[in-house]
């Protein structure tokens, strides 16, 4: 019976209705919507997202977990850095369509325009400085030119 329950749960998770509910839950919070808009066309590390949104690291982590569960964002780890970006073409249909709609709808929203200006200032700060400011440990490889490491990944989903 355990195998049946596991199969039923997998089928539920793979259903369009489940995907839609996860996406709508993720989009029901202004901070998560702002994080998605910040990730449009770029990959950012967690320290940059924390600085941008102005919330506690644990709160930002919870928001990112909800966005990951909805498959709206993808994360990857590089050393001790964690990077996030919008999901790519392999994302479920509900996530892709929601991102397309959301980012188009918010394009001229005053809050999002102000956020873009704020984010541009944050991107000029060395991420190692942000981590120290936030009380986080020095990431691996921080002795290197971290800013150039981050800037090489700045444009990813320019079509969204």
Residue 140 to residue 123: CA distance in whole angstroms: 19
Residue 68 to residue 54: CA distance in whole angstroms: 20
Residue by residue, pLDDT tens for the chain (160 residues) are 455 667 666 656 667 888 899 999 999 999 999 999 999 999 999 999 999 999 999 999 999 999 999 999 999 998 888 999 999 878 888 899 999 999 999 989 999 999 999 999 999 998 888 888 877 654 444 444 444 444 444 443 333 4
Q: By the 8 A CB rule, do 98 and 72 touch?
A: yes
Residue 151: the pLDDT is: 42
Residue 123, classified by CB atoms within 10 Å of its CB into exposed (0-12), middle (13-18) or buried (19+), is middle
The fold of the 15-151 domain, in CATH, is: Arc Repressor Mutant, subunit A (1.10.10)
């Amino acid at each position: 019976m355990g195998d049946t329950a596991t199969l039923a749960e997998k089928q539920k998770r793979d259903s369009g209705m489940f995907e839609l509910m996860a996406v709508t839950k993720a989009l029901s919070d202004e901070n998560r919507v702002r994080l998605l808009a910040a990730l449009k066309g770029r990959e950012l590390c967690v320290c940059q997202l924390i600085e941008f949104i102005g919330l506690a690291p644990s709160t930002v982590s919870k928001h990112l977990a909800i966005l990951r569960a909805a498959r709206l964002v993808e994360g990857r780890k590089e050393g001790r850095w964690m990077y996030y970006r919008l999901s790519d073409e392999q994302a479920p249909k509900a996530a892709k369509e929601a991102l397309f709609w959301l980012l188009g709808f918010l394009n001229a929203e005053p809050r999002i325009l102000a956020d873009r200006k704020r984010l541009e200032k944050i991107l000029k700060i060395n991420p190692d400085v942000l981590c120290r400011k936030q009380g986080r440990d020095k990431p691996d490889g921080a002795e290197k030119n971290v800013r150039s490491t981050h800037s090489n990944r700045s444009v990813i989903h320019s079509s969204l």
